[in-house]
Structure 1
Amino acid sequence: MKDFDEVVDRKGTYCTQWDYIEDRFGEKDLLPFSISDMDFRSPETIVNALETRLRHGVFGYTRWNHDDYKQSISSWYQKRFSSTIQDEWIVYSPSVIYSISKMIGLLTDEMDHVIIQTPAYDAFYKTIQDNNRIISRNELIYQNGHYSIDFIDLAERLSHEKAKVLLLCSPHNPTGRVWTRIELEKIVALCNEHKVYIISDDIHMDIIYEGNSHIPIIDVMMDTSKVCICSSASKTFNIPGLGGSYLLIPDEQIRTQFLLALKNKDGLSSASILGIEATMTAYNDCEDWVDELVSYLHSNLQIIQDFLEEHLPSLHLTMPNSTYLAWIDVSQLPYSSEQLQAALVQHGKVAIMAGDTYGEGGKHFIRMNVGCPQSKVVEGLQRLKKAIEYLEQQRNN
Structure 2
Amino acid sequence: MHSQFDQRINRMGTYCTQWDYIKDRFGVNDLLPFSISDMDFQSPPEILKALKERTDHGVFGYTRWNHTDYKSSITYWYETRFSSKIEMDWIVYSPSVIYSIARLIEILTSESDHIVMQTPAYDAFFPLVSEMKRKLVTNPLLYKDGRYEIDFSDLEQKLSNPKAKVLLLCNPHNPTGRLWTKQELKRIVDLCNQYGVKVISDDIHMDITYNNRTYIPLTSVTDDVQNIFICSSASKTFNTPGLGGSYSIIPNEEIRERFLQLLKYRDGLSSANIFGEIAVMEAYRHAGYWVDELCSYLYNNMKIIKEYIDQELPTLHFTIPESTYLAWIDCTGLLKTQKELQQALVNIGKVGIMPGDVYGEDRGVFLRMNIGCPQSKLLEGLDRLKRSILSLSNS
TM-score by structure 1 length?
Answer: 0.98
Q: Is the 8 A contact 2:114 2:165 kept in 1?
A: yes
Q: Is the 8 A contact 1:77 1:84 kept in 2?
A: yes
Decide whether aligned partners of structure 1 residues 288 and 348 sit closer, same or farther in structure 2, where only a CA change above 3 A counts: same
The 2-side partners of 1:313 and 1:227 are apart by 43
The 1-side partners of 2:281 and 2:361 are apart by 39
Q: In the TM superposition, what is the alpha-carbon distance from 1:222 to its structure 2 partner?
A: 1.9
4+ aligned runs moved over 3 Å, structure 1 = 360-363
Q: Which amino acid aligns with 2:136?
A: I
Q: In the TM superposition, what is the alpha-carbon distance from 1:29 to its structure 2 partner?
A: 1.2
Q: Is the 8 A contact 2:119 2:360 kept in 1?
A: yes
Q: In the TM superposition, what is the alpha-carbon distance from 1:14 to its structure 2 partner?
A: 0.2
The 2-side partners of 1:237 and 1:348 are apart by 30
Q: Is the 8 A contact 1:326 1:367 kept in 2?
A: yes
Question: 2:378 corresponds to which residue?
Answer: 377
Does residue 95 in structure 1 map to residue 105 in structure 2? no
**For 1:286-321, what per-residue CA distance to the aligned partner results, in whole angstroms no more than 9, with x for missing partners?**
000000000000000100000001100011111100
Does residue 230 in structure 1 map to residue 231 in structure 2? yes
The 2-side partners of 1:124 and 1:104 are apart by 11
Q: In the TM superposition, what is the alpha-carbon distance from 1:84 to its structure 2 partner?
A: 0.5
* Secondary structure of residue in 1 paired with 2:130: helix
**For 1:129-158, what per-residue CA distance to the aligned partner results, in whole angstroms no more than 9, with x for missing partners?**
111000000000000111100000000000
Question: 1:127 corresponds to which residue?
Answer: 128
* Secondary structure of residue in 1 paired with 2:332: coil
Question: 1:366 corresponds to which residue?
Answer: 367
* Secondary structure of residue in 1 paired with 2:124: helix
Question: 2:15 corresponds to which residue?
Answer: 14
**For 1:208-246, what per-residue CA distance to the aligned partner results, in whole angstroms no more than 9, with x for missing partners?**
101422110011122111011000000000000000000
Q: In the TM superposition, what is the alpha-carbon distance from 1:360 to its structure 2 partner?
A: 3.3
The alignment of Structure 1 onto Structure 2 pairs a total of residues equal to 394
**For 1:66-87, what per-residue CA distance to the aligned partner results, in whole angstroms no more than 9, with x for missing partners?**
0000000000000100000100
TM-score by structure 2 length?
Answer: 0.99
Unaligned runs of 5+ in 1: none
Q: Is the 8 A contact 1:2 1:289 kept in 2?
A: no
**For 1:144-179, what per-residue CA distance to the aligned partner results, in whole angstroms no more than 9, with x for missing partners?**
111100000000000111100000000000000000
Unaligned runs of 5+ in 2: none
The 2-side partners of 1:362 and 1:279 are apart by 39
Does residue 185 in structure 1 map to residue 186 in structure 2? yes
Q: How does 1:228-377 map to 2 (within 5 A)?
A: 228-361=229-362, 363-377=364-378
* Secondary structure of residue in 2 paired with 1:360: coil
Q: Percent identity?
A: 59
Q: In the TM superposition, what is the alpha-carbon distance from 1:363 to its structure 2 partner?
A: 4.3
Q: Which amino acid aligns with 1:260?
A: Q
Decide whether aligned partners of structure 1 residues 363 and 125 sit closer, same or farther in structure 2, where only a CA change above 3 A counts: farther
Q: Which amino acid aligns with 2:83?
A: S
Q: In the TM superposition, what is the alpha-carbon distance from 1:393 to its structure 2 partner?
A: 1.6
Q: In the TM superposition, what is the alpha-carbon distance from 1:361 to its structure 2 partner?
A: 4.0
The 2-side partners of 1:338 and 1:14 are apart by 28
The 2-side partners of 1:179 and 1:97 are apart by 21
The 1-side partners of 2:121 and 2:249 are apart by 22
Question: 2:210 corresponds to which residue?
Answer: 209
Decide whether aligned partners of structure 1 residues 2 and 63 sit closer, same or farther in structure 2, where only a CA change above 3 A counts: farther
* Secondary structure of residue in 1 paired with 2:315: coil
Q: Which amino acid aligns with 2:134?
A: R
* Secondary structure of residue in 2 paired with 1:120: coil
Q: In the TM superposition, what is the alpha-carbon distance from 1:346 to its structure 2 partner?
A: 0.5
The 1-side partners of 2:361 and 2:298 are apart by 28
Question: 1:73 corresponds to which residue?
Answer: 74
Question: 1:29 corresponds to which residue?
Answer: 30
**For structure 1, which segment, 376-385 or 211-220, has the greater mean C-alpha deviation from structure 2 after superposition?**
211-220
Q: Which amino acid aligns with 1:77?
A: Y
Q: Is the 8 A contact 1:354 1:363 kept in 2?
A: no
